[in-house]
Structure 1
């Protein structure tokens, strides 16, 4: 029989930086591979105080196990606004429990209150894990993204 867990999802605040730092380090390590990064509480505090990004966290039985980083942007085509999710992460010990989908669903549920015409879901090409969820719950966007790198990391 499957275990029941109490999942709470809410915007993270400055007081949550200590819990967020290890997840940010694990997320960076999952994307870049190599040696695990050291949790950086100072960076987590800065992220949680960012003027443009918001961070939603998922707690499972009180433990922070996942997050999404998103922004609220103007949409000049519709005259409304749109949400944009650039990062979703759930700790590997807690995957396949519907937590990432619950994070995205909660943002989608807030679309009307936030005046969003759409919620854009960006995912890295590798690893494919993130894209699999988006392919199940969303449609391909009408555009392709490109980037110009300004750092030495490739």
Structure 2
């Protein structure tokens, strides 16, 4: 099957029923998406498919029909993505395990809802953080929304 990941086309020999997470990590050596629960509940494995957040541990590789973005493909060569920059400025990362998925979920939220309310953030940011950085996550999202006149 052919997949475009972070702007690069890959041809892989994989079972179409293989979870996308394992194709990314094991076959393409892309380690940003993490295994957390295996049932799509925690969000550590979140990637963007055509800009939409997807839990890659419970999404079949054969179902992918659009470009995939992982945390590795989010930033430009010379600058962080605005959400990554806000994450650092607000001290969001603690242990860091969930952060790639959190950042990608936030990017999708801001692309869809440039000026999210607290309720919008609560509805979209369903990824779990064991360190409890939710107040900092909210602040970073609002910072990005406010810093450039609304979203990305």
Using the size of structure 1 for normalisation, the TM-score is 0.33
Using the size of structure 2 for normalisation, the TM-score is 0.33
Higher strand share: 1
Greater C-alpha radius of gyration? 1
Higher helix share: 2
